[in-house]
Every structure is written in structure tokens, then in C-alpha cells.
């Protein structure tokens, strides 16, 4: 723990921290549009992290992966959601149950738990520093907090997509040698899931004329 990390480690961990920070920023974003933009930014950072790893460790497959995820997560998915937002004509994210400051504090506690849980595994990897895996776990947990606290379908969907970003970073850390075909299959599966999300969101909006999940309390017990 007392050794000084190299510049490569520092930069990659820094990029991972940037992704985590954008996750926290989503807790705060009041407009749905800004959440979508934050998600696009986050995916951009993840893609650049993949490119950086590919360049430094000479794993060429990651270039393809980075390009595909750029296309999918930075351009296509935000575009689809923006279109849904335009049709739905809503602006504000559903109010969350707690205030922003409390949400941030809860998310900090949750992220700290994730850090230490994963840190105790003593995972060592050739492609990224260990801290990146802990950060990825923290991103996943904060995405959970986001989904639990938000009360409209678009915020919850974006929370889910950013959770996938966290899992992508984890896969970069521990599974950068995963066969490319598998990674591509994962990505396209994600695309299909996005399409289904979109369909169901649209159905919900057409039926209830709102994107809020406030009335989702009919089915109980």
C-alpha cells in the first residue's frame, strides 16, 4: 500500500475515478437531458480508458471494442433516449425520495463498502491497477442507489446503463483478454436490452402520459 503507483496506474485510476464522479453527478442532475448527457460523457471516458489500455498494453482487440462501445453507448443509446424524451415532452427528473446532499452521503457510504469489499479480494491484474476494480464495484453500487432513489423510468434506465459501464470497467481490469467475440456479443445483447427498455418506456408513456413511476403502486403484496 505504500508503493507509489506508476504514471500509467495513476492515469487509469484517475479515469476510473472520473467515471465514478459522473455517477455521483447523476444523483444531482435535475434535468433528464443532463442525465443522458452525463451518461454519454461517462461512456466516452470508459471508451477512452479502453483505448488507453489498448495502446499501453498492446491489446489490439480492445480498439475494436472501444470503437463499438463508443458507437453504441455514446451515440446510439443517448440518441434513442433523447428521442423518447422529445416525444414525451418531459424535462424534470422525478423527484427523488431524499435530498441531493443526503443521497450523496448515502452513496459515499455504499461506495466505501464496495471499495473495501472488493479490496479484500487482493485481485491483481496485468492490465489495470487494483483500485480500478474497487472503483468499478463502487460505480455499480452507486448506480443501485441511483435506481432506488429516483422515481421516473428514464432515470432508472440510465442508472441501469451506467451500471453496465461499471461492469465494463471491471471487465477491462480482470478480463481484458476475454475473447473479442464474447465482448461483442455482450455489447449487442446490451443493445437489444436497450431497445426493449425503450419499447416498454414508450408503452408506459403512451398509457399513462407520464414518465414517472409514482403510480407504480397498484401491484402490491
CA distances (Å), origin 34, targets 4, 6, 75, 219: 37, 34, 15, 31
**Of the candidate residues 65, 111, 145, 149, the single one contacting another protein (CB under 8 A):** 111
d(Cα 201, Cα 156) in Å, to the nearest integer?
11
115 near another protein (CB under 8 A)? yes
Q: b/e per residue, 21-35, with b = 16+ CB within 10 A?
A: ebbbebbebeebbeb
**Of the candidate residues 19, 20, 77, 84, the single one contacting another protein (CB under 8 A):** 20
* Smallest separation, CB 79 to another protein (Å): 20
97 near another protein (CB under 8 A)? no
11 near another protein (CB under 8 A)? yes
User: Residue 83: phi, psi to the nearest 5?
Assistant: -65, -40
51 near another protein (CB under 8 A)? no
Stretch that binds another protein, among 43-51, 71-79, 85-93, 97-105 (CB under 8 A): 97-105
Stretch that binds another protein, among 39-47, 66-74, 84-92, 172-180 (CB under 8 A): 172-180
Spatial neighbors of 17 by CB under 8 A, at least 6 apart, are 135
**Of the candidate residues 92, 97, 116, 214, the single one contacting another protein (CB under 8 A):** 116
Query: Residue 138 in contact with residue 111, Cβ under 8 Å?
Result: yes
Amino acid at each position: 500500500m505504500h508503493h507509489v503507483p506508476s504514471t500509467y496506474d495513476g492515469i487509469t485510476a484517475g479515469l476510473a475515478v472520473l467515471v465514478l464522479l459522473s455517477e455521483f453527478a447523476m444523483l444531482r442532475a435535475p434535468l433528464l437531458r443532463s442525465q443522458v448527457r452525463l451518461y454519454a460523457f461517462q461512456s466516452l471516458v470508459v471508451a477512452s480508458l479502453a483505448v488507453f489500455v489498448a495502446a499501453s498494453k498492446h491489446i489490439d482487440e480492445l480498439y475494436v471494442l472501444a470503437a463499438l462501445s463508443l458507437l453504441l453507448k455514446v451515440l446510439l443509446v443517448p440518441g434513442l433516449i433523447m428521442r423518447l424524451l422529445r416525444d414525451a415532452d418531459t424535462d424534470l427528473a422525478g423527484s427523488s425520495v431524499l435530498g441531493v446532499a443526503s443521497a450523496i452521503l448515502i452513496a459515499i457510504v455504499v461506495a466505501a463498502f464496495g471499495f473495501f469489499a472488493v479490496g479484500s479480494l487482493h485481485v491483481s491484474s496485468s492490465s489495470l491497477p487494483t483500485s480500478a476494480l474497487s472503483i468499478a464495484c463502487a460505480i455499480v453500487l452507486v448506480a443501485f442507489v441511483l435506481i432506488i432513489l429516483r422515481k421516473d423510468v428514464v432515470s432508472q434506465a440510465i442508472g441501469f446503463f451506467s451500471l453496465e459501464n461499471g461492469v465494463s470497467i471491471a471487465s477491462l481490469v480482470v478480463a481484458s483478454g476475454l475473447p473479442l467475440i464474447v465482448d461483442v456479443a455482450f455489447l449487442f445483447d446490451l443493445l437489444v436490452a436497450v431497445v426493449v427498455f425503450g419499447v416498454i418506456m414508450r408503452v408506459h408513456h403512451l398509457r399513462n402520459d407520464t414518465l414517472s413511476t409514482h403510480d407504480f403502486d397498484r401491484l402490491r403484496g
